[in-house]
Each structure stands twice: as C-alpha cells, then as structure tokens.
Amino acid sequence: MRIYLCLTATALSTACAPLIQPTEPTETSLPFFGTGYPAQGDPCRRLGESAETIDYLDHTADLVGCPVNLSTLDDFVVQTGAVEVFRQDGFVVFSIPTGK
C-alpha cells in the first residue's frame, strides 16, 4: 500500500510541475522544451513533435524557435547555420544542422 501511495504522489507532483516556456509572447501551441539554445538561458528553445512541427523534424537537424523580435536573430542565423522554416505566434522556427 505504501508503494502505491509513493508512486501516486510522485506522478502527481511531476504532472503539476511547470513547463519551461520561452520568453514573450507566452501564448503558443509550439512544443518548446529545454532551458535555452544553444546554451542554457538563451532565448531560443528546441521544439518537439506536434502537428505544427512534424513536417520539419529531422534526425540531422535541431528544430529551434526564437522570438521574432530577438535583437541578435541575424547573428544567431549566421553562427548556427539556421534555415527558417516557418513563423508562428511571434516565433521564428529554424532547422539547424546538428553537425555545426
């Protein structure tokens, strides 16, 4: 009985944990994850699988979303080799080769 209670408590606490979301704007259906791209704390975030991203996911590239108003967006594109694939909800979504 105690084992079941512990498992239930763990599952509930995990389910209630807040998800890390990118900076403004906060209303989006894009499936962001991680704490920054390419480094922790950076405003861009990796994207997972969803109806919006499925056609752009590739095992040879990272799918990354950045705020459209990011002042260093041009530098980000040059440094990472990012290729813009679409824009949605105030974010630019890029495909970035993983070998770079």
Q: How confident is the model at residue 16 (pLDDT cuts 50, 70, 90)?
A: very low
With respect to residue 48, please indicate whether it lies within any of the assigned structural domains.
yes
Alpha helices in 1-100 (DSSP H): 2-15, 73-80
Q: DSSP secondary-structure letter at 18?
A: P
With respect to residue 41, please indicate whether it lies within any of the assigned structural domains.
yes
With respect to residue 4, please indicate whether it lies within any of the assigned structural domains.
no
With respect to residue 66, please indicate whether it lies within any of the assigned structural domains.
yes
With respect to residue 11, please indicate whether it lies within any of the assigned structural domains.
no
Total count of domains within the chain: 1
Question: Which class for 76: exposed (0-12), middle (13-18), buried (19 or more C-beta within 10 A)?
Answer: buried
How far CA 43 is from CA of 15, 18, 35, 68, 84, in Å, comes to 25, 18, 9, 11, 16
Half-sphere exposure of 49 (CA within 13 A, CB side): 4
CB atoms within 10 A of CB 69: 13
Q: DSSP secondary-structure letter at 79?
A: H
- 35: containing domain: 20-97
What's the whole-model pTM score? 0.72
Please give the share of the chain, as a percent, with pLDDT higher than 70: 73
Residue 27 confidence (pLDDT):
82
